[in-house]
Structure 1
Amino acid sequence: MNVFYEESGSFKVGAVVSRNDASLQVDTLHGKRAKIKSANVMLEFNSALTEFLPAVEKLAAEIDIDFLWEVSGQDEFGFEALAADYWGHTPNAAEAAAIIQRLFEAPMYFYKKGKGRFKAAPEESLKAALAGIEKKKREQEQIDAWVAELKSGRLPDAIRTQLMTLLFRPDKNTLEFKAFDQACRERNLPPVRLAAEIGGIPSVPDYLMAGFLLEYFPKGTGFGQYAAPELPGDEELPLAEVAAFSIDDAATTEIDDALSLVELPNGNQRVGIHIAAPTLGVAPGSDIEKLVFQRLSTVYFPGDKITMLPDELVEQFTLKEGQACPAVSLYVEVTPEFEPVGYESRIERVTIAANLRHNQLEQVFNEQTLADPDGGPDYPFKRELTWLWQFANALEKRRGKYDPTRPVQMDYNFNVVDGKVQITLRKRGAPMDKLVSELMILANSEWGRMLAEADIPAMYRAQSMGKVRMTTRPEPHIGLGVAQYAWSTSPLRRATDFVNQRQLTAMIRGDKPEFEQGNAMLFAILRDFDATYSAYLAFQDRMEHFWCLRWFSQEGVTEPTATLIKEDLVRIDGLPLRLRVPGLPELASGDKVRLAVIRIDELTQEIELRYAGKVGHEDVQVEEDSTV
């Protein structure tokens, strides 16, 4: 006796060796003995084992499934009854098995109701299922067509419009993803490499920018509609009796800070640190404040930036030359020995006498002119700048950070014009840089102290155990050497400074602050800012890394020199580029080496270098991240 049975979704045959109530042992077509459940046996037959399945498959192939569904009726049925109706006579074993096979092969047409029992699918359900199958067929045909185009080097328009999304934030359920993924697998290429080969990435900076925008600006960099700010009237803010000046690079439009210096009758000097005051015109809960808390910071990268605030609003509050601008000011009374002896905060209008620019100021205000025994050349605000520079040195000493023997560190400026990059160096700690940074550190630390003493929470930058973190409570910043450090001097560029200015103005006016101790919104803004600001800096680093790689080919540099930092880590001379170079011989920190460029892949941001010899030595110091 032979049996026709179902196992793992397919039908098999076997010769019965033994049986009991629950199972049988059979010899299969391949000569193997198998144990099967009695419940899986569909029918028994006596014909030749080897001929049965081919006969069943031939009969099943001739059965019209639509006709079978039509004659099955709407009631539950057993396969024997349907087989008799279909064949018009009592079916033999092969005919009955053919019916069973077709019923199993058409789950859209027939629902299983038990061993050998089925029920025809309702007409509406069947139509929906068949339409789904037809849709999947059409979709697969479209996928196959796109794959063929991609493999031949052409980029279909439908995939072109979705390409950056496919590379950075793919939706695996879309046809475009399925086609692109299949083409990548068949070409054995990573997605970004295939995209480049078919012309989808004509510009690496644009590719990097697209990924960043998808993640942080999915709706674009525009600001949309918002209500105009209500600017305070001149009668609301007293006009300060000072002439202030700012110091920024030539491209800066968000001028947050300016300085002034007035000699007092008692022989002391009064230093004014004046900060742009957008919070005076941006109401709490307004559309513009929501923009601040959404963007959180201006994004900087070589050649461009994405501002935190709209240009027209920046124009209203930036400390622009020739205007009396709303400002929050910190006045510091300083003795001739450069000792601060008094602090006062004001909300006022400040006349901006000049916007001094780095490229012009540095030519006349630098270490050489300051050291000139004849006083050097004359230039605007020479007295103020010279005195403030001396004060900055005194402030640096008070913080315990003054070290004239410390090796000079460099800052790098990127300028991208028409696809070409210029990377220029400027000594960190140059007079104009130290002047501004020290006075901003003073303002941020003192305003942080005042807010803490008033029990008004703020956003502080703290550092301990070598780690920098954000907190709403005043804590020491070991790296800067201050007891507390509340970012407050860049409210046009950072949400932290914007929030802190809100708190400061409430403190100065004696009003209830927008954020009180324990405010959940303040913690949420701090958390979001910390994560977003880090991501913005990481994007800036990626873009600068790309332009460093582009610089090699642009300038034709094939054998750069570098300085060993430690182990196999080197810093490329003239670039803010630190790399690991495998295979370096035993060298000392500070050794200068010549390297050979083996390979540069701008798309994947990789560079391969090989040691080519030692060329000298210089003292080095591990670079510190700027926290000002």
Structure 2
Amino acid sequence: MNLFFEESGDFRTGSVLAQVGEAYQVELPGGKRTKVRARDVLLQYEAYDPVQLMSEAQEIAGEIDLDFLWEVAGEAEFSFTELGTEYFGHEPRPQEAAGLLLRLHAAPVYFYRKGKGRYKAAPEKSLKAALASIEKKRQLAIIQEQYVEQMKTGVFPEAMKPLAIQLLCKPDKNGMEYKALTQACTALQTTPERFMLKTGAVASPFDLHLSCFLFEHFPKGTGFPFEKITVPIPDLPVADVQAFSIDDVTTTEIDDAFSVTRLPDGNVKVGIHIAAPALGMMPGDDIDAVARQRMATVYMPGDKITMLPDDYVRVFTLGAGEKRPAVSLYATINQEDSTLLATETCLEFIQVAVNLRLNDLEHIVTEENLAEDKGEYPHKEEIGILWCWAQAREKVRMAKRESFGLKPQQANHPDYSFYLHDGLVTIEQRMRTAPLDRIVAELMIFVNSTWGRLMQEHGVPGIYRSQGEGNGSWAARRLVRMQTHAAPHQGLGVDQYSWSTSPLRRYTDLVNQWQILACIQHGVTAPLSAPFKPRDADLFAIVSAFDSAHTIYTEFQTKMERYWCLRWLSQHDVRQARAVVIRDEMVRLLDIPLTIPLPAVRTLGRGTQVTLDLLRWDEVDLSVEARLVEVSAVTADENMAESDDEIVD
């Protein structure tokens, strides 16, 4: 006796060797033996050899017209033998029954399985939909294959170009286009990024890096949904000061300006004036919604994506010659010993006389020239006074820092400025110890600390940055945290520190400015009038969202700076460079802020200067291969190697 049975979803035939109860021992055509349960047996036959039966059954299955079979089946559930009688016009022979079963089982679109050997014809509407889907997939498969063949010849399909960045950044891995791209790249032994660059689907590595960032974080574009912006400004007193700002030449969002006024008693009053964009909006309005979504201005060499619309920025930026609203902090100072006598915060109009640019003054305003009163430049006297007070403020901070158990801060880590012109990059280095940088930094720290205390004294929550709080490990204590209550920032040497001086480009500063304005305008009732109340869940949400956005934007800025560093290497055809060890297996070039992993320096101390051969670099994955040539006897200042202190801006 022979059996036609189902095993693990497949149909098999074999000869019965023995039967024990409800089970058979069956020998398959290849000689293998298997145990078959009686419930899995679909046909028993004698006249045919198992191999012959399966061969004839497959031939019959291939001749059965599915559409006709579906019509014959009707709407009721049926067994394959019942349908066989109807289809063949007689009780089916074993090979006919087996062939029919093979055909039914292979057509799940036409027939739904209801049990072993039992089926039900699919409803007409469902069948048509399924067949349409199959035909669509077939057509897509044809197109996919055409795309693959086209890409193998080095041509990126025109129809796929609008999806190029999506295919790289956030592809639909079930999509035909992605499957075609990966199939072609596998055949060509390349990556999708390099293939698109080679075929022109992506113009350049720069476009690749920028477009992927924009696709993920600015999917609706970098523009603003405002055609015209009307900003009501309240009537404010006009300050009787000659203010000036100090910024890089590329700065357009000018948040801060300074003034120095001599008082009749011989003291001086230093004014630190911060742009007041919080006056033109409130939490929840249209402009705030966009600013809150972006959280900060995104910076990259040669370009930026502003947090606020340009038209709005123009109303509040502290540009020269214009009367602008500002939140001003005045500090009365004894000029003899630079001690702080009093502070006052007010809301007013100021008129900036001039926007000084670091690029024009840094070679003139040096420590030596300031000490010897040399050089001529605008607001020379005021800058001299600010320099003396900045040095005094720094001493106060360093004493406070040491009281927290920290070493004096060293600000020898360099900053780098990137300037682009016609695709060429210039990278300029400026030390943080430069007087103008130190003046701005010290005054910003003073403002952020003073206004942080102002909010704390008024019982108004704000967004603070703290460092060293708690009793955790040393590494944990060095971590800078954002929170909504005042706490020491031990690294900066202040009792509290709130970001408040960049409201045109950081949402945290804008939020703090709303809270500060409430303190100015409402005094003791500020907690009732401030937009954000103590333990406000919305304020916690802002802190979390800003922290996330700030991390993303910083990583992107670092990535784009690395790209332009590699462009600088190519532009100058640099093949050998000096570097400094900044930590285990990592060096940084001395001329540009390019870091390179180099296991060969593992045994060298931090700050050791080395000479490298730059073998090759890649603008797509931003990698650099280098070889250690020489270890210098000269050791750089440890802080030149790497700084763990927070950058103040």
TM range (shorter): over 0.9
Return the alpha-carbon distance in structure 2 between the equivalents of residues 109 and 176 of structure 1. Answer: 29
Alpha-carbon distance between aligned partners in 1 of 2:530 and 2:348, rounded to the nearest angstrom: 19
The answer to whether 1:492 aligns with 2:504 is: yes
Unmatched segments (≥5 aa) in structure 2: 402-406, 469-476
Q: Deviations along 1:327-366, whole A, 9 cap, x unmatched?
A: 0001111112111121111001112111111122224322
Per-residue CA deviations over 1:505-544 (Å, capped at 9, x if unaligned) read 0100015100010111111111101110111111000000
The residue aligned with 2:562 is: 545
Q: Residue 531 of structure 2 is aligned with which of 492, 503, 514?
A: 514
**Residues 1:325 and 2:342 are matched in the alignment:** no
Aligned-pair CA distance for 1:405: 10
Q: Specify the code of the residue in structure 2 equivalent to 1:476.
A: P
Deviation (angstroms), 1:585: 7.8
Which residue type is aligned with residue 367 of structure 1? E
Q: Tell me, yes or no, if the aligned pair for 2:295 and 2:507 is still in contact at 8 Å.
A: yes
1:451 paired with 2:455, answer yes
Equivalent residue number for residue 179 of structure 1: 180
> Aligned with 1:400: secondary structure?
helix
Higher mean displacement: 535-544 or 584-593: 584-593
**SS of residue matched to 1:321:** coil
Secondary structure at 2:296 match in 1: coil
- Distance between the aligned counterparts of 1:18 and 1:434, measured in 2? 97
- Aligned residue for 2:145, secondary structure, equals helix
Q: How does the TM-score come out when normalised to structure 1?
A: 0.96
Structure 2: distance between partners of 1:184 and 1:24: 52
Q: Structure 2 matches for 1:220-299, cutoff 5 A?
A: 220-225=221-226, 228-233=229-234, 236-299=235-298
Per-residue CA deviations over 1:29-52 (Å, capped at 9, x if unaligned) read 111110122121110111222322
CA contact (8 A) 2:580 2:636 kept: no
Q: Which residue of 2 aligns with 1:200?
A: 201
Cα deviation 1:406-461 (Å, max 9, x = unaligned): 58332111111111110111121211111111001000000000100111000111
RMSD of aligned Cα (Å): 1.8
Aligned positions of 1:373-412 closer than 5 A: 375-400=373-398, 406=410, 408-412=412-416
Instruction: State the secondary structure of the residue aligned to 2:599.
Output: coil
Cα distance per residue 1:73-125 (max 9 Å; x no partner): 22222222222222222322111111111111111112222232222222222
**CA–CA distance in structure 2, aligned partners of residues 73 and 21 of structure 1:** 37
How many angstroms apart in 2 are the aligned matches of 1:221 and 1:609? 38
CA distance in 1, matches of 2:81, 2:584: 81
Query: 1:145, 1:487 → 2: CA distance?
Result: 56
Q: Which moved more, 1:286-295 or 1:20-29?
A: 20-29
SS at match of 1:125: helix
Shift of 1:23: 2.3
- Structure 1, 531-540 or 223-232: larger mean CA deviation: 223-232
3-state DSSP of counterpart to 2:430: strand
Give 3-state SS (helix, strand or coil) of 2:428's partner.
Answer: strand
1:225 and 1:285 map into 2 onto residues whose CA distance is: 16
Give the number of aligned pairs.
624
Counterpart of 2:484 in structure 1 is: 472
* Equivalent AA in structure 1 for residue 157 of structure 2: P
Secondary structure in structure 2 of the residue aligned to 1:544: helix
CA–CA distance in 1 between the matches of 2:13 and 2:271? Answer: 97
1:562 corresponds in structure 2 to 579
The C-alpha deviation readout for 1:462-515, integer Å capped at 9, x for no partner, is 112110111001111111111110011111010011000000001000151000
Amino acid of the residue matched to residue 125 of structure 2?
E
2:141 & 2:296 partners in 1: Cα distance?
45
Q: Is the 8 A contact 1:491 1:497 kept in 2?
A: yes
Counterpart residue number, 1:623: 643
Equivalent AA in structure 2 for residue 410 of structure 1 = P
Distance 1:585 1:134 in 2: 61
Structure 1 residues 406, 308: CA separation in 2 closer, same or farther (over 3 Å shift)? closer
2-side partners of 1:94 and 1:407: how far apart? Answer: 90
Greater Cα offset, 520-529 or 574-583: 574-583
Local SS of the residue matching 1:551 = helix
1:49-448 to 2 correspondence within 5 Å? 49-225=50-226, 228-233=229-234, 236-336=235-335, 337-372=337-372, 375-400=373-398, 406=410, 408-448=412-452
CA distance in 2, matches of 1:241, 1:213: 45
Distance in 2 between residues matched to 1:226 and 1:362, nearest whole Å? 40
Matched residue, 2:13: 13
For the residue of structure 1 that corresponds to 2:600, the secondary structure is coil
User: 2:227 & 2:531 partners in 1: Cα distance?
Assistant: 21
Contact 1:226 1:288 in 2 (8 A): no
Deviation readout 1:370-402 (Å, 9 max, x if unpaired): 132xx2123221111001001000000000179
Offset at residue 189 of structure 1 (A): 2.9
Letter in 1 for 2:24: L
User: 1: distance between equivalents of 2:219 and 2:583?
Assistant: 41
2-side partners of 1:76 and 1:456: how far apart?
74
Could you tell me how far apart the structure 2 residues matched to 1:159 and 1:64 are?
38
State the AA in 2 paired with 1:488: S
Q: Following the alignment from structure 1 to structure 2, what is the Cα–Cα distance between the partners of residues 587 and 531?
A: 35
Alignment-mate amino acid for residue 349 of structure 1? F
Displacement of 1:149: 1.3
- Superposed, 1:565-580 pairs within 5 Å as 565-580=582-597
8 A contact 1:227–1:288 mirrored in 2:
no
Q: Kindly state the Cα deviation for residue 287 of structure 1 after the two structures are TM-superposed.
A: 0.8
Q: Answer yes or no: is the 8 Å Cα contact 1:3–1:14 preserved in 2.
A: yes
1:531 aligned residue = 548
Q: Tell whether the 8 Å contact from 1:4 to 1:44 is kept in structure 2 after alignment.
A: yes
Deviates more, 1:223-232 or 1:100-109: 223-232
Contact 2:295-2:549 at 8 Å conserved across structures: yes
Out of 491, 507, 515, the residue aligned to residue 503 of structure 1 is: 515
Q: CA deviation at 1:586?
A: 4.4
Aligned residues of 1:109 and 1:120 also touching (Cα < 8 A): yes
Mapped partners of 1:155, 1:395: distance in 2:
61
